[in-house]
Amino acid sequence: MILVNHNGMSHLDACVSSVQKQSYADFEVIFVDNNSSDGSLEYARGKFPGLTFVANNENLGYAGGINSGLTRASGDYIAPLNVDTEVTTDWLGSMVSFLDANPPAGAVTPKILLFDRRDTINAKGLNIHITGLGFCRGLHHKDDGSLAPVKVAGVSGCSYLIRRQLLEAMGGAPGWCFMGNDDVIVSWLLRLMGYEVYCLPQSVIFHKYSLKMSPQKLFRYEKNRHILLLSTLKPLTLLACLPVLLAIELMMVVYSFVRGRSYVRAKFGALASLWPERGSIRQRREEYRSLRKISDFSLFRRLNWNLEWAQLLHIVR
């Protein structure tokens, strides 16, 4: 299990204490600190000495933090976890049992409920649009108590369990994206590799989450989304999808103008950043090509064609 922390002092007691109460015993906790300045690393070392600590000299982002922990991990499964969470006692064991019993599954994600509204869903996996937009599946719906596993387009970056060899095969978590869409990217690559992704509702965690956007987040999400598409889809696919891609671009530009000048700069800055990244994009295309087991058409069949308008309208306000 890899906990990535950056100035997360207020979250540590609830998160780490719940992690240590797991009914499943065969796991290690790797606490990765991304150069925190709030004393949270020192606090965690003093209160939770049984953890394995990795102290980065700079903030590598969530995905980079996962990779720092991956180098110290010894298990066959890797479980990234946000520190602003609290997990239930069967959270980890349920997911381990599921992957043990389901070889076609590359990763599984729990049912994530809101921390302060524990009958309300944060995410039951992700809905991933074919243009790389990711949405929390079931956000703000009441929990219906269902326990049946369900195939989903993607895992939630807040918490998931993935087969170690698959994460390593894709080069680790996408550290190049820093943060923003890292869960979409991992899920997308798992799909290209021919694996299924599931949500397991009997595994439950609570997350301190709010749906909001900022210019910095918009820049990262849009830049990472475009790099993902250019790095994985074949040229003919990009050409065939051009009308859909342009429609989404227009929607994002309109959204940026509605939100104000800083969002417009972020959106067009994300587009402008792609040219300097062209060499890295070509390199990733070669790396990801070796992972591919299915066609772009088969990939799109596993993703979503509809947008989550309720979530889009919420972040406009």
Per residue in 236-265, pLDDT (tens digit) is 999 999 999 999 999 999 999 999 999 999
Q: Please give the pLDDT value at position 316.
A: 67
Give me the torsion for CA of 163, 165, 171, 176, rounded to 10°.
Answer: 20
Q: Please give the pLDDT value at position 317.
A: 62
Q: Please give the pLDDT value at position 171.
A: 95
- What's the pLDDT band for 196 if we cut at 50, 70, 90? very high
Contact 225, 182 (CB under 8 A): no
Contact 148, 209 (CB under 8 A): no
Contact 245, 271 (CB under 8 A): no
pLDDT tens-digit readout, 131-188:
999 999 999 999 999 999 999 999 999 999 999 999 999 999 999 998 879 999 999 9
Look at residue 267 and tell me whether its pLDDT is greater than 70. Answer: yes
- % residues pLDDT > 70 (the chain): 99
| Alpha carbon distance 185, 154 (integer Å) | 9
Using only C-alpha atoms, the chain has a radius of gyration, in whole angstroms, of 19
User: Which of 132, 185, 111 has its CA nearest to residue 307?
Assistant: 132
pLDDT tens-digit readout, 68-82:
999 999 999 999 999
CATH architecture of 2-207: Alpha-Beta Complex (3.90)
Domain with CATH 3.90.550.10 in the chain: 2-207
- What's the pLDDT band for 314 if we cut at 50, 70, 90? confident
Buried b (16+ CB within 10 A) or exposed e, 83-93: bbbbbbebbbb
| Alpha carbon distance 151, 286 (integer Å) | 29
